[in-house]
Chain A
Amino acid sequence: MAAYDTNGATSHDHDAPPVAPFSLKVVIAGGFGVGKTTLVGAVSEIPPLTTEEYLTAASSTSDSLSGVEAKSTTTVSMDFGRITFDRPQPMVLFLFGTPGQERFRFVWNDLVDGAIGAVVLVDTRRLEDSFGAVSYFERRAMPFVVAVNEFDTAAHRYTPDEVRQALELTDSVPVLLCDARDAWSAATVLINLVRHALSCAPSRPPSDPGALA
């Protein structure tokens, strides 16, 4: 794995904290069982990991441990994957799979904060499971693409336009078919997301110091 010393500070320098590599984050959202873990696994350099979090009925992670004793907690799982790049520069892309259940939507805020965008993975047999995710990202004005996971060739295939209509998406939202199991298909989804994020990014002149904020 590439070393991440972007300013010359080594891991042994106690005088200054090490600088992280440019780290970016993409959120993979979608209903339960739609294939988020599979998609993460298709591109992640590590097998997808599961990060668990306890939540109380009051929906706060900060006092979740005090709820454990009272047995009033539930467990929420998030997928984690990563891709390390050394070209064109050292970067790491984190992939976070959101908890699928509607009632855990509030957990998404921290996951989504600072993400470059999201993939809403869709199963055409349960399109309605995706409405909540689509609304969430629209409200946050976060760039997102819709990826239709086509893993069952016998199932009724919707065209991207039909999915767009069913989800009431604006024309600017990319809708694409994918096979979450396939690395190139998954990479194509990510590329489409990054391109879409670029088209959404406010352009700044190169000399604008605000661009570095």
Chain B
Amino acid sequence: MAGSLTPAWSDQDEQDERPYALTGGRTRPRHSMRLDTLLMAQRGSPPERLGPEAKAAIALCQREQRAVAEIAAVLKQPAQVTKIILSDLIDAGALIVAVPDTIDPRSPQLLEALLGGIRHKWGNVA
């Protein structure tokens, strides 16, 4: 099993209440996103009064685009909670979703490029 990065909470009740505290009681994000949706930070000062998780999310997305799954893992928050935090940051203009290119990711051209990329990185292993 992956090394689960469980925060050291003082007790289970506090751990269970925490997602509500982060999302203000909401259970769904306003903007839909998937685990592989890419986000990046917008230029400009970040909104005021951000919690530590929101600040960390913006910092992660400053210089490169990050997938929702990665942000959630680094924040050590469940994906659903992370999506709500990220959705709020989109509304606040701090983050923006990077639109995927329209080319089908399974197109032969892209697959050939990926093949070349892997071979370049690890040598012609196969």
Number of interface residues of B (CB under 8 A): 64
Does A211 lie within 8 Å of B107, measured CB to CB?
A: yes
Number of interface residues of A (CB under 8 A): 75
Chain B residue contacts of A78, Cβ below 8 A? 35, 69
Which residues of B50-75 are within 8 A (CB) of A?
Answer: 63-65, 67, 69-70, 72-74
Chain A residue contacts of B41, Cβ below 8 A? 11
Which residues of B16-38 are within 8 A (CB) of A?
Answer: 16, 19-20, 23, 26-28, 34-36, 38
Which residues of B62-117 are within 8 A (CB) of A?
Answer: 63-65, 67, 69-70, 72-74, 77-81, 96-117
Decide yes or no whether A167 CB sits under 8 A from chain B: no
Decide yes or no whether A33 CB sits under 8 A from chain B: yes
Does B122 lie within 8 Å of A114, measured CB to CB?
A: no
Q: Which residues of A contact B (CB under 8 A)?
A: 1, 4, 6, 11-12, 14, 17-25, 32-33, 37, 43, 46, 48-54, 61-66, 68-69, 71, 75, 77-80, 82-83, 85, 87-89, 91, 93-94, 96-97, 100, 110-111, 113-114, 116, 183-184, 187-188, 190-192, 194-195, 197-198, 201, 203-204, 211-213
Between A and B, 5 residue pairs with Cβ closer than 8 Å are: A21-B65, A49-B70, A51-B35, A191-B119, A211-B107
